[in-house]
Amino acid sequence: LAEHSAGQRVEAEHTAAVSEQLEEMRNLLERLNNDLDSQKAQLAGLQGTMEQRLQESTAQSAIRMREIASEMIDDAWAERSAELRAQLAEARRPGTEAAARSAALSGQL
Give the per-residue pLDDT at 97. Answer: 64
Residue spans of alpha helices (H) in 1-109: 2-92, 102-108
Q: Which residues contact 92 (CB under 8 A, 6 or more apart)?
A: 99, 102
User: Taking the mean position of all CA atoms in its chain, how far away is CA 38?
Assistant: 24
Phi, psi of 94 (to 5 degrees): -60, 145
Report pLDDT for 43: 95
d(CA 12, CA 83): 105
Of the candidates 90, 34, 26, the one whose C-alpha atom is nearest the C-alpha of residue 101 is 90
**Tens digits of residue pLDDT in 83-109:** 999 988 877 776 666 665 665 666 655
Residue 94's H or E segment, with its range, is none
The alpha carbons of the chain give a radius of gyration, in whole angstroms, of: 43
Contact 83, 109 (CB under 8 A): no
Contact assessment for residue 91 and residue 98, using Cβ atoms and an 8 Å cutoff? yes
Q: With a cut of 70, which residues of the chain have pLDDT below it?
A: 1, 94-109
